[in-house]
Amino acid sequence: MESAILGHQIHPRYIEALRLLDGKDANVLEFMSDYRKKGNRLTNSEIVIGLQQRQIENPTEEMVKESLYNLVERGLCDVNNLQGKPRYSDMNSENIFISHFGKKFLDMVREKSSE
């Protein structure tokens, strides 16, 4: 297991989430976390602006919706007030929050990147 090489025990779910995450999804998740720590509401267009500031190539609202959908599918985010599987059209950051797993995932990744 990859975690044994690093000398740490890491649940396979974290490794799988990291493996499936692309750079845009990771930036959306991190931006959401940083922005929401300030207690601010967040829109998809604000994520686009944040990604532009992070110099992500050609961010669009459609790309943000796709990233939000991917984050929900991987369990890193969840959708408020929706029953059943969320639809792609429901991917509006005002309705999406970082799940407990997503917060723990971010904490683990940030801890490892600061070592």
Q: What is the pLDDT of residues 40-89, one digit of tens each?
A: 778 999 999 999 998 988 999 999 999 999 999 899 998 876 566 667 67
Q: How confident is the model at residue 29 (pLDDT cuts 50, 70, 90)?
A: very high
Looking at residue 79, its pLDDT comes to 84
Q: Enter the DSSP assignment of 74.
A: T
- What's the whole-number mean pLDDT along residues 6-25? 77
Give the chain's domains with CATH numbers.
22-114 (1.10.10)
Cβ pair 110, 12 in contact under 8 A:
no
Q: How confident is the model at residue 113 (pLDDT cuts 50, 70, 90)?
A: low
